[in-house]
């Protein structure tokens, strides 16, 4: 039977426009930043998210995975991954993750995800050849383009329930016998990135391996 993973941001209109803008253009660098407050005390219903034995990981698996998925969607499987997970809760889940990714195409990306008290941020910035494309905040639907000629901005409002387009796509995929928008094969790459980022010296298998 078909299977999919709920990385629903793939279907956000602004993300799809960003993907269209990348057609024929290979950026040099991508900067991904995520930060929000999260410090559940004893008895808090979300305390389980601080225990990797239950949650599967910390901020990288929780929030960072969705941003890593967008990089996989845009650029495919990376050829190199290096990561650093720090500032852990008592039960072991990391509060901060720094991940560097590289592709044979020349694209380099840095992802910093953090549960912290500093002002919240959720931004993706794609840069290269004198051009910068920015989604900020990621879920706002605002895509800003900056070049030497100036700055422009377009707003493509997301669905009121962002999961609805994902469910509709899955139903249509089953009916048409095509892959869903986020197949398990892509989600597996995200899991591989998260696992590699957590190793002191990640052994990242090459595409030919």
Cα separation values, 152 from 27, 132, 143, Å? 18, 11, 9
pTM of the model: 0.95
pLDDT digits (tens, 9 = 90+) for 40-77: 999 999 999 999 999 999 999 999 999 999 999 999 99
8-197: which CATH architecture? 2-Layer Sandwich (3.30)
- Cβ-count burial 127-136 (b if 16+ within 10 Å, e if not): bbeeebbbbe
pLDDT digits (tens, 9 = 90+) for 91-108: 999 999 999 999 999 999
**CA dihedral (163, 186, 50, 9) positive or negative:** negative
Q: Is the Cβ–Cβ distance between 147 and 127 less than 8 Å?
A: no
């Amino acid at each position: 039977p078909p299977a999919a993973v709920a990385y629903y941001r793939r279907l956000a209109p602004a993300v799809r426009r960003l993907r269209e803008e990348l057609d024929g253009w290979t950026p040099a660098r991508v900067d991904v930043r995520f930060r929000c407050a999260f410090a559940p005390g004893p008895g808090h219903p979300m305390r389980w998210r601080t225990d990797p034995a239950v949650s599967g990981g910390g901020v990288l698996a929780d929030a960072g995975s969705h941003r890593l998925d967008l990089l996989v969607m845009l650029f495919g499987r990376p050829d190199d991954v290096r990561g650093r997970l720090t500032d852990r809760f008592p039960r072991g889940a990391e509060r901060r993750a720094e991940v560097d990714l590289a592709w044979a195409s020349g694209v380099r990306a840095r992802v910093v995800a953090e549960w912290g008290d500093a002002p919240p941020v959720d931004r993706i910035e794609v840069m290269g050849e004198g051009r910068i494309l920015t989604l900020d905040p990621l879920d706002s639907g605002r895509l800003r383009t900056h070049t030497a000629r100036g700055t422009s901005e377009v707003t493509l409002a997301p669905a009121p329930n962002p999961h609805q387009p994902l469910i509709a796509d899955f139903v249509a995929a089953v009916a048409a016998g095509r892959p869903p928008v986020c197949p398990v094969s892509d989600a597996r790459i995200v899991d591989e990135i998260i696992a590699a980022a957590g190793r002191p010296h990640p052994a990242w298998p090459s595409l030919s391996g």
